[in-house]
Amino acid sequence: MTNASYRGKPLILTLSLILSLTLSLSTEKVFAQAGSYYDAINPNSAAFISDLKNRVRVPYTKVSYDNFDETYIANFAAINNGNGTKSVICVYSGYEYIYSGVFTWGVMSREHTFCHSWMPSFSSTSGDEYADQHHLFPTHQNNANAVRSNHPLGKVTTVTSQFLDGKLGTNALGQLVYEPRDKQKGDAARALLYMMLRYDGIDGVAWNLNWLNNTRLPALNEAPQAFETLLNWHRQDPPDKHEVERGNYIQSVQQNRNPFTDRPEYVSYINFNNFSKLSPVYDPEPSNYPVSLVATSTSTSITVNWTDASGTQVPSGYLVQIFSKDDYFLPIDGEIYSDDTTLSDGKGLFNVTHTGGANGITFERLASGTAYYVTVYSYNGGGALRNYKINGVFPRVSKATGASTNTVVNFIGTTATVKEDTGSVTLRLGIINPSPTAATSVQVILISGDSSDINNYTAQTVIFPSGSAGDQFVTVDVTNDTLLEGDEAFVFKLQNISGGTNAVIGQNPEFSLIIRDDDLTTVQFTASSALANEGDGQLSLVLMIDNPNSIIPTTATVALVSGSPADLGGFTSQTVTFPAGSSQNQSVVITITDDNEQEPTEFFEFSIEDVSGGNSAQAGPLSLFTLTLVDNEAIAINLLDNFNRSSSNTLGGTPTSPVSLNWSETETVAGSAIAIDSSRLKISSGVSGKDFAYVNLSTLTGYNTVLNNANGLMMWAVNMKHTRPNPSGFDAGNYGIAFVLAKSTSSIDGGTGYAVVHGNSGSVDPIRLAKFNNGFASNGSMTNVIAGGAYGSGYHSIKVIFDPSNSSWALYADSSSAAFPYEDPRNTATLLGTAVDNTYTGTSLPYFGCLWNHNVTSSEFAVFDDIYISDPGWMLPVELVSFVAENIDGNVKLRWVTATEVNNRGFEIIKLKVISEKLIQSGGENSGEGKIIGFVSGAGSSGNISSYSFTDENVAPGEYRYRLKQVDNDGSFSFSNEVSVTVSSPGNFMLEQNYPNPFGGGNSVTSFRFYLPVSGNVKFAVYDVLGREIANLLSGKTDAGVHTVNYNAAKIHSGVYFYKITVTGDAGQVLFSSTRKMIVIK
């Protein structure tokens, strides 16, 4: 094998010699997963997550970390090169380490995908998690492992350092992240998710993303590990044959498997932030696979025939994969894999409709003398509802095309993208079946692009000597000018081949080169959106710059384009200046107005405008920023007391609506120990004992004092502090603080119930959710339900959630030495643990309050503030705070916010069209029932604020009403109020640039958008550079409005193309015509 440090250079286009071979037909069936390992797992069960945790934990055999080389490297990772050497590949970069004899560490090392420093058990190396092979991989020590370090994984947009295909740099938010090579991204994501599932909750320790992102990574000064990145990588790089076989090997030594490799759809059933259950909806899974696969071939084609699947649930179609190596991947439910008919890269995808009888497919234009492997999966449904059958035994067949004696010349690899200052690009050509007696010549011709930008290159003849299989090269010089011309595309083509043995040009006749202009200055936001509370005070909008000019500064204006300035301190616009030569970010500080008025959630949009200076500076892709502002008065419906009233030795009544509850006080010093001080409840006393302030919640209409009888999640939240640094608890003469959630009596030293307490007799002082008997008589009265962390006399934000459906508890806590971490403690994010306990949840526990145990002191005290309780007697399954609709260029954007959710599967989007102020009763969106146009998954059960959006695209002019149908996991539902929006006709004709552009490779679909102020006859077509029409995308009468047309370019070659729209009136007159250029890369 060739060292990857040479073959990985991005500017070398390789065409290698393919040897002729003949393989006999070989039909096989392969297990996608190991036997019956998951037979007892049902993702639709309420116990799915706990069942899956138990499945991967038992059986389990720890393999020593020190034996990773003797097991995994020796028996799976090492590749025998057949010449006395072996190779091990760095999974992050693609580096190939070649060795002989026994493998030793040094150049390579063992990488913990879930970093050792991330683990709650750090710095111990004795636990199962340290040696778990499902997340251990070989990597280059100095250039990959050490570079990744503690950093989260993410998409690098600005590279700091790069080793082959592994990158370190900042993402679009300016956060430092590490990006592995593409083929490891899905593997890495699934390894991280496995580790969280495998170890979460063991010994009461959280391994979820809330804990990781809110506790561990901030302590390491690292950015959060974005789940959205992991989810995208999981979907973009689904499990392949190598990853499945890796799991097979690890199971042979470690006894367990990674379920997200074997059953990739399981990821969609888990909220990895807190390990709550999600409930995605898919169509029924097909019962069976097709049978009797048979393959036949010619020298350039393979035909696969089969008999369609039968059974209780027949499939609607089949996903057919073809590879030129022994490979496959497992499709993921809810994902659509578009046809990929370009087989020159060694793989293809095809969707075949189920017919109920004989069926099949023919693959054309294949390489001669090459073995291909075909896999067929049954599926049912379309769009997000698609359900693939991947379990059990799926059918595969292998077949080789016939040998050919023709000489063939090709490009291998079809694209490259370089910066303008790269110098030169080397195009590499190779030959198949060279003639022993006759040389082969071929021309490499520039067919598209401005030759003056590549040193006036037009054509070059390449000669392969007779009998030589050696590669030939063409060097293209890139002109590095100072012109501000944008990115440019060039297409090279093989033509005029002669000589050899009936020489022909192969499947890769074209190569596309994109040269990125490195001269333009761009300014954009570092993020596209933010969610804030009205009481947050200020928000910074951060702008970044690329390619600043060393002499000319760059200016840009941030303008408020949607929303009321009065809610943002009167903000309308602000101009920022990037100094000449400076790449430092600039910020615009927005002051949020806290108006003390109840109002719906508001949305604000900011735009970057009037960019000038620099190198012909312009706005970058992230030029629009959306702020969602949640009203702190509107969401405070569950506030019990915030003590925002005059200082007093009497607490008085709570502000709870619709009735006020009276605080009762049991004090060590009557009339002074418990007081309101500086808008907080403060307990201080010079007499040893316990002080207790409490309310009787049985007087609160609808409140369930029997916790098991609540009709939804119950939540309690508080900010609390006491000054004792090492509290010893609740024995006489000690110090301890308690937030009493539910108690059977008002007696301090009597009764049963639950409380969050800080203070115990041990050396470590965790925050604990405890159940108690005999009240707070002593430390011995309390038994831990959940305990976590080690806390001193800091400021603590606390949140507790109880689920009456399964008697499960969750305890959250965040702490700070300077101030309460959250003004609203319902936002407390760090999960200390979960547990099931129903010891007292079936009895009436009406008393709620705040307690402090203390010795004789004149300086120590305790403080409580911002007390919240949920009232399941009043709560709807989903508490909808706001729901608004906005027309944005013919697209209606719906946005809504929830404060709490209970068992929420999600929201159906319903659309109704209004004509003459009446709903037309004719079905569809014009009917009284309305039309369901989409579905947005909910958060399940959550006590946190959740923000949602949905865009109804290309809406014809008119008046519309939208509403939400909120659907529970059990199928019950409720409707929101309707919101109205008017979509007007565009003011002018316009044709936008297609997006994405350039496009191709892994994404062969692009979108065209155009605006019609009036209706007209539209012809929309795509043309090649010779003016030949290659696709007619739209032809006919089209209404006024904003329209989008999609185009799949899978069947055309790389190059420059043009798209044109012509709009004519009823009399044939031309109303509008426009042509634009697009670039296809393959």
> What single string gives the DSSP state of each residue in 251-283?
HHHHS---HHHH-GGGGGGEETTTTEE-----P
Highest-scoring range by mean pLDDT, 697-711, 725-739, 1034-1048: 725-739
The token pair that represents 206 in the structure block = 């959280």
Task: Answer yes or no: is pLDDT of 411 > 90.
Answer: no
Q: What's the pLDDT score for residue 1?
A: 26
- Mean pLDDT: which of 311-320, 701-710, 721-730, 1009-1018 is highest? 311-320
- The angle formed by the CA atoms of residues 114, 116 and 118, to the nearest 5 degrees, is 70
376 CB burial (10 A radius; 0-12, 13-18, 19+): buried
Q: Is the pLDDT of residue 423 over 60?
A: yes
Q: Is the pLDDT of residue 306 over 60?
A: yes
Percent pLDDT > 90 in the chain is 47
Would you say 980 and 959 are in contact if contact means Cβ atoms under 8 Å apart?
A: yes
Say yes or no: domain 990-1081 is CATH 2.60.40.420.
no
Token pair for 944:
């946190």
Least reliable range by pLDDT among 240-244, 766-770, 874-878, 1045-1049 = 874-878
The average confidence (pLDDT) of the chain is 85
Checking if the pLDDT of 207 tops 70, the result is yes
Tens of pLDDT, residue by residue over 1056-1077, are 888 999 999 888 888 888 888 8
What phi and psi values does residue 748 have, to the nearest 5 degrees? -65, -45
The per-residue DSSP string of 959-1015 comes to: EEEEEEEEEETTS-EEE---EEEEEPPPSS-EEPPPBSSSEETTB-EEEEEEEESS-
CATH number of the structural domain 647-869: 2.60.120.560
8 A C-beta contact, residue 1078 and residue 997: yes
pLDDT in tens, 142-167: 899 999 999 999 999 888 888 889 99
Q: Give residue 120's pLDDT band: very low, low, confident or very high (50, 70, 90).
A: very high
Query: CATH 2.60.40.2550 occupies which residues in the chain?
Result: 990-1081
Average pLDDT of span 696-703? 78
| Rounded CA separation 542/316 (Å) | 49
**Tokens of residue 128, six digits:** 């199962």
Class of domain 291-400: mainly beta
Which tops the pLDDT comparison, 1074 or 74?
74
Give whichever of 797-801, 943-947, 995-999 has the largest mean pLDDT: 797-801
| pLDDT score, position 11 | 25
Q: Where are the beta strands (DSSP E) in 507-585?
A: 510-516, 522-525, 529-533, 538-546, 554-562, 573-578
Q: What is the pLDDT of residues 883-912, one digit of tens each?
A: 888 887 778 888 888 766 767 788 999 988
Enter the tokens of residue 811.
Answer: 């305890």
Q: Which tens digit of pLDDT belongs to each residue from 822-870?
A: 888 888 888 888 889 999 999 999 999 999 999 987 789 999 999 988 7
- pLDDT tens, residue by residue, 352-402: 999 999 999 988 878 788 899 999 999 998 878 899 999 988 999 999 998
Phi and psi of 229, rounded to 5°? -65, -45
Q: Please state, in angstroms and rounded to a whole number, the distance separating the CA atoms of residues 1056 and 514.
A: 11
pLDDT at 701: 64
Half-sphere exposure of 448 (CA within 13 A, CB side): 25
Q: What is the mean pLDDT of residues 511-520?
A: 80
Question: Which of 171-175, 293-297, 1010-1014 shows the highest mean pLDDT?
Answer: 293-297
Residue 14's pLDDT band, with cuts at 50, 70 and 90, is very low
Distance from C-alpha of 108 to C-alpha of 92, rounded to nearest angstrom = 12
Report the pLDDT value the prediction gives residue 872, as an integer from 0 to 100: 43
Q: Which of 189-198, 614-623, 976-985 has the highest mean pLDDT?
A: 189-198
1063 versus 699: the higher-pLDDT residue is: 1063
Mean pLDDT of the region 1002-1010: 80
Distance CA(595)–CA(534), nearest Å, equals 8
Q: What pLDDT band is residue 12 in, cutting at 50, 70 and 90?
A: very low
- pLDDT of 876 strictly over 50: no
pTM here?
0.48
Give residue 945's identity as a one-letter amino acid code. Answer: I
Burial class (CB in 10 A: 0-12, 13-18, 19+), 1058: middle
Per-residue pLDDT at 34: 56
96 or 871, which is more confident: 96
Q: Report helix, strand or coil for 723.
A: coil
Where in the chain is CATH 2.60.40.2030? 408-516, 522-634
Q: According to the model, what pLDDT value does residue 744 have?
A: 96
Predicted confidence at residue 19, as pLDDT, reads 25
Q: Is 445 exposed, middle or buried (0-12, 13-18, 19+ CB in 10 A)?
A: middle
- pLDDT category at 54 given cuts 50, 70, 90 is very high
What residues does CATH 2.60.40.10 cover in the chain? 291-400, 878-983
For residues 947 and 448, the model is more confident at: 448
Instruction: Report the pLDDT averaged over residues 1026-1036.
Output: 85
CA–CA dist 358, 305 (Å, integer): 7
Distances from the Cα of 333 to the Cα of 269, 282, 387, 388, 860, angstroms: 11, 8, 5, 6, 58
Task: Convert the pLDDT of each residue in 516-569 to its tens digit.
Answer: 777 788 899 988 777 777 777 888 999 999 889 899 999 999 999 877 888 899
Confidence at residue 70, expressed as pLDDT on a 0 to 100 scale: 94
Give the angle 841-846-849 at the CA atoms, nearest 5°: 105
Please give the Cα distance from 507 to 964 (Å, whole number): 51
Q: Which of 15-24, 536-545, 595-604 has the lowest mean pLDDT?
A: 15-24
Residue recorded with tokens 């096989």 = 28
DSSP state of 725: S
pLDDT for the residue 711: 66
- The domain 522-634 is placed in CATH, from the list 2.60.40.2030, 3.30.1360.70, 3.50.50.60, 3.40.50.720, at 2.60.40.2030
Q: Which amino acid is at 582?
A: S
According to DSSP, the residues that pair with 787 across neighbouring strands are: 768
CB atoms within 10 A of CB 975: 12
Whether pLDDT at 1039 is above 90: no
Nearest to 365 by CA among 308, 333, 324: 324
* pLDDT above 90 (res 1053): no
pLDDT, tens only, 806-827: 888 989 999 888 889 888 888 8
Tokens, residue 745: 């009596």
- Distance between first and last Cα of the chain: 27
For residue 1046, what is the enclosing H or E element? Answer: strand 1041-1048
Q: Average the pLDDT over 130-138 and give the result.
A: 97
Mean pLDDT value across residues 922-927: 37
Instruction: Answer yes or no: CATH 2.60.40.2030 is held by domain 408-516.
Output: yes
Q: What angle do CA 779, 814, 770 make, to 5 degrees?
A: 25
Q: What is the mean pLDDT of residues 689-707?
A: 86
- Cα distance between residue 118 and residue 215, in whole Å: 10
Indicate the fold that domain 878-983 takes in CATH.
Answer: Immunoglobulin-like (2.60.40)
Query: What is the phi/psi pair of residue 471, to 5°?
Result: -75, 155
Of the listed ranges 93-102, 493-502, 1037-1046, the one predicted with least confidence: 1037-1046
- Mean per-residue pLDDT for 968-989? 76
Residue 26 reports pLDDT greater than 70: no
The whole-angstrom separation of Cα 270 and Cα 278 is 5
Q: Which residues contact 220 (CB under 8 A, 6 or more apart)?
A: 117, 118, 150
Residue 998, preceding peptide bond in cis (omega within 30° of 0): yes
Give Cβ neighbours of residue 252 (< 8 Å, ≥ 6 apart): none
Mean pLDDT over 105-115 rounds to 94
What is the greatest pairwise CA distance in the chain? 112
**For the ranges 423-432, 612-621, 673-682, the one whose mean pLDDT is highest:** 673-682
Give pLDDT, residue 657. 44
Handedness of CA 238, 244, 246, 247 (dihedral sign): positive
Mean pLDDT, residues 127-142 taken together? 96
Task: Give me the half-sphere count of Cα atoms (radius 13 Å) on the Cβ side of residue 516.
Answer: 9
pLDDT computed for residue 542 by the predictor: 93
* Span 564-593, average pLDDT: 92
Take residue 997 and report the two structure tokens written for it: 């552009």
- Specify the pairing of strand 408-411 against strand 504-505: parallel
For residue 481, what are its two tokens?
A: 């000018």
State the pLDDT confidence band at 302, using cuts at 50, 70 and 90. Answer: very high
Q: Does residue 455 or residue 17 have the better pLDDT?
A: 455
Whole-number Å distance between alpha carbons of 843 and 266:
38
Out of 195-199, 490-494, 726-730, 737-741, which region has the weakest mean confidence (pLDDT)? Answer: 726-730
Residue intervals in the chain for CATH 2.60.120.560? 647-869
